[in-house]
Structure 1
Amino acid sequence: MKTVNKKELLQSLEDQVEAHIADAIALFQNRDDAFLNRSSATGGWSIAQCLDHLNSYGHYYLPRMRKQLATAQLVQKQGFTSTWLGDYFTKMMDPETGKRKFKAFKGHIPPSELDSAAVVREFIRQQEELLYLLRAGLDRDLDAVRIPVSILPLIRMKIGDVLRFIIAHDERHMQQAKRNLIPQCIY
């Protein structure tokens, strides 16, 4: 696997998270329940369901990453080397490289009616925590810290791969949520 500059990787991921926060605030915050819970015109998830699905993964991964980073040794390592599994999962979720649709795993399927304000608020909070974790990763060894995979906890991925996967997954569903805006917006 190819080694990348850790600082550049984390900055790229941070830029994506900042964009997710900005979009959530500008497009979803302060919208009413009817708007955010409206099913997609194609029969897919509503905006609130997309964000709630992402929140469910955040509930699993964020505490584990926070705990592992808090106890990881400080290092001045400049690189990060992804594993084949980390690359595979990230490419599978990235909207640019992963064009296949997937069924959500049990425990990550959102209900149809949600308290959309709470869902949006939690999504923004989780994205802000993700920013904190990315910044904390600057002086940690992203190759050494391992996190159990939510769907199969026996498999532990490098935290750098988990960050890449989570943010690609977030981007995939943010694009899905934003597609729901087009038929609903009146300009």
Structure 2
Amino acid sequence: METIQKEPLLTTLEQRVEEHLQRAIGLFRNLPERELLQPSPTGGWSIAQCLDHLNSYGHYYLPKIQEGIEHNALRPSKDTFKSSWLGAYFIKMMDPETGKKKYKAFKGHIPALELDAYTVVAEFIQQQERLLEYLKQARSVDLNTVRIPISIARFITLKAGDVFQFVIAHNERHIRQALRNVVDITERIPH
């Protein structure tokens, strides 16, 4: 794993979260509820289910990230970050550009069939705003020393820099899935 500069990494991650936020505000929030709840014609999740799945990860990771930042706020910070081998593996696995394999959702992260679509979208927007705030706060902590337990095996911890990258790559993966449903919906609408 190579050592990278923290500032450009956090800036890139902030830009990706901003894109996710703008998709949710500009597109998902404005879709009719029936379209948000329409299952994918290929048998996959609806747009609301994709976002609900991401919200379930936000319920776990956002408080852990906040706690990690708060507990390390007074410690010296480094200007660089180096992924662990395990963190790099998880990021590569989840990033839609490098991880093409499909995975089954873990228990506790499987979205419900019946959802209040607008509540799900609103919560996703709130979570992305919180994530942006934590990325800004992360500039003052050492992304190498803040350790966060992963949701599927809490005895395994990853560096905060790896967790940020993993969560945002996972968000990207499922936002792309949700966007495919938008394309499918527009193709089904009679002209």
- Per the normalisation by structure 1, the TM-score is 0.97
Residue identity opposite 1:87 in structure 2: A
- Return the offset for 1:60: 0.2
Count of residue correspondences: 187
Residue number in structure 1 paired with 2:173: 172
Q: Aligned equivalents of 2:6 and 2:76: distance in 1?
A: 12
C-alpha contact (below 8 Å) 1:86/1:157 kept by paired residues = yes
Within a 5 Å distance, the mapping from 1:77-116 to structure 2 comes to 77-116=78-117
Gaps of 5+ in 1: none
SS of the aligned residue for 1:154 comes to strand
Question: After TM superposition, where is structure 1 displaced by more than 2 Å over at least 4 residues in a row?
Answer: 30-33, 73-76
- Return the offset for 1:77: 1.4
Residue number in structure 1 paired with 2:155: 154
SS of the aligned residue for 1:180 comes to helix
Deviations 1:110-160 (A, max 9, x none): 011210000000000000000001000101000000000100000011011
Q: Aligned equivalents of 1:149 and 1:76: distance in 2?
A: 23
C-alpha contact (below 8 Å) 1:148/1:156 kept by paired residues = yes
Q: Aligned equivalents of 2:168 and 2:157: distance in 1?
A: 18
Q: Aligned equivalents of 1:116 and 1:32: distance in 2?
A: 9
Q: Aligned equivalents of 2:44 and 2:83: distance in 1?
A: 32
Q: Among all aligned residue pairs of Structure 1 and Structure 2, give the percentage whose two residues are the same amino acid.
A: 56
Residue identity opposite 2:132 in structure 1: L
Q: Does 1:21 align with 2:12?
A: no
SS of the aligned residue for 1:162 comes to helix
- Per the normalisation by structure 2, the TM-score is 0.95
